[in-house]
Amino acid sequence: MKTLKICLDVNGERHELLVAPNRSLTQVLREDLGLTGAKHGCDEGECGACTVLFDGEPVNSCLVLAAQAEGHEITTIEGIADGSALHPLQQAFVDHGAVQCGFCTPGMVLSAKALLDRKKRPSEHEIRTALSGNLCRCTGYQKIVDAVRAGGRNSAGSGR
Amino acid sequence: MLLPKFDFHRPTSIAETCEMLTEYGESASMVAGGTDVLVDLRRKRIAPARLIGIDRVNEMDGIRAGRGEVVVGSLVTAAGIADNRMLRRRFSVLTQAAEELGSPPIRNRATIGGNLVTARPAGDLLPPLMVLDARVRLVSQGGEREIPVDRFITGPGKTKIRTNEVLTQVVMPRPDPASGGAYIKFGARSSCEISIVSVAVFVSFTPAGRRIKSAKIVLGAVAPKPIGCPRAEELLVGAAPGEKAFAAAGSAAARAARPISDHRGSARYRRQMVEVLTRRALGSACRSAREGLSGRTK
């Protein structure tokens, strides 16, 4: 199996990596770049715990070969805070009790961020649809939905 | 879970892809969005020595309106289809299916070409492509050919594609302005779901709009591949659109279905749902066609 030399753009930083072709983006983010926010959940694109933004759009990183991510902009949960200041959406999750075990949270926040970047004031139906690829076993989803709605309001005008 | 070992090739043109397909033959599989292929690899359903990543072949991307037809590149994602204004206006049966496929992160990667070549009995884009009389374009070093989707798919997971061919584009004839379609996906939940039953319909009206001129109905998940309902379609031709015609078509469609009983639903339940959903889809399609007739933008 021939190793590939790839260049990944992750959270605005370029990384030159030597990877085996059979490594998923989830594996390379976690193991080679130490970005452990994206989780191994189901590893088959059903739970969303591995969600990252791929050119601004949520994807299941478990279904992307690391090599396929070359030439695209990858954003992980580690990339949305501003230094130590939480992104307004992250703050909304904290304020609304939308985080329990936290395993689904990076994926939820990124899927929600992609929605809010497109539409500042989505309806409840639009929020639930946007999150329909992210499973949560703890919260029952309501507080997550409330946090996303609040996150949209808080972000309005902040340009983030 | 680890992926099995394979070598990875990254062509950037259709010609390069065809060269690789010819050279590597059966030892290679293609991968685009990866939403089916990576699952199959992890579950050991396929074990190719090589993967050919076709996601950089820009010639196979994009949506183009031509004279009398629209050409959708095989790499266009379900999200790309669902969000396209022109497709939403004139090919809404396809965009409705694209919106329901998988989940948002899946839709951002799953491609129309992939949905076609994996040819699952419940593949969401397949019934709409069939009611729209779509064709697939297949290219190899030996040349090009086009096959209508309903003949391209031959069974569950089986198509007429040859080892040295790549599916480059999907071609759809422009529909009549006085026409409309609808897709209903029915499952136990509203996301990440394989259908219990799915129905795609497409109807066109006579110029005055009082009679149905032609109708196509294709059912998904109730046979080894998506199936048409010729008897139901016949009943609709020349009929006045309305509950009476839709009910008759619904019953005929239920008789055309060949469902199995499995953990998602019994055969009996599936037939009942075919009848109900065909009626509803016809109502929806006719409303859509009326908007086209009156010239209202959708």
Q: What is the pLDDT of residues A89-111, one digit of tens each?
A: 999 999 999 999 999 999 999 99
Question: Cβ of B8 and A45 within 8 Å?
Answer: no
Residues of A in contact with B192 (CB under 8 A): 46, 132-133
Chain-chain contact of A4 with B55 (C-beta, under 8 angstroms)? no
Which chain A positions have a beta carbon within 8 Å of B2's beta carbon?
A: 22
Give the whole-angstrom CA distance, residue A85 versus residue B97: 41
Cβ contact, residue pair A133, B102, below 8 Å: yes
Query: How confident is the model over A57-72, as a mean pLDDT?
Result: 98
Q: Nearest by CB to B190, which of A4, A60, A132?
A: A132
ipTM for the whole complex: 0.96
Question: How high is the pLDDT of residue A77?
Answer: 98
Q: Do A45 and B5 touch (CB under 8 A)?
A: no
Contact between A95 and A147 (Cβ < 8 Å): yes
Tokens of B288: 């859509």
pLDDT tens column, B131-171: 999 999 999 999 999 999 999 999 999 999 999 999 999 99
Residue A49, pLDDT above cutoff 50: yes
User: What pLDDT is recorded for position A157?
Assistant: 47
**Distance of alpha carbon B120 from alpha carbon B156, whole angstroms:** 5
Q: Exposed (0-12), middle (13-18) or buried (19+): which is A18, by Cβ within 10 Å?
A: exposed
The 3-state DSSP class for residue B84 equals: coil
Q: What is the mean pLDDT of chain A?
A: 96
Question: Pick from A64, A67, A111: which is nearest to B104 by CB?
Answer: A111
Sheet holding B28-31: strands in order across?
Answer: B7-9, B50-53, B28-31
Helix (H) or strand (E) holding B8: strand B7-9
Q: Tell me how far apart the alpha carbons of residues B180 and B95 are, in angstroms, rounded to a whole number.
A: 12
Helix (H) or strand (E) holding A53: strand A51-54
Q: For chain B, which residues lie within 8 Å of any Cβ of chain A, measuring from their own Cβ? A: 1-8, 10, 31, 33-35, 38-39, 42, 51, 53, 55-56, 79, 102-106, 108-109, 190-192
| pLDDT score for A156 | 55
Rounded to the nearest angstrom, the minimum Cα separation between A1 and chain B is 5
Q: Which residues pair with B136 in a beta bridge?
A: B147, B170
Closest to B33 (Cα-Cα) out of B81, B88, B71, B86 = B81
Tell me which residues of chain B have a pLDDT lower than 70: 295-298
CB contact under 8 A, B109 and A132: no
- In this structure, of A114-123, A151-160, B18-27, B157-166, the range with the lowest mean pLDDT score is A151-160
Q: Is B295 exposed, middle or buried (0-12, 13-18, 19+ CB in 10 A)?
A: exposed
Q: Which of A20, A46, A132 minimises the CB distance to B104?
A: A132
Collect all residues of chain B within an 8 Å Cβ-Cβ radius of residue A19: none
What residues contact residue A153 under an 8 Å CB cut-off, 6+ apart?
A120, A121
What pTM was estimated for this model as a whole? 0.96
- Please list the helix, strand and coil fractions of chain A in percent, rounded to the nearest 5, in that order: 40, 20, 45
Least Cα distance to A92 among A41, A137, A156, A136 occurs for: A156
Residue B293 has a pLDDT of: 73
Contact yes or no for B102 and A129 at CB 8 A: no
What percent of chain A lies above the pLDDT cut of 70?
Answer: 96
The SS3 assignment for B153 reads strand
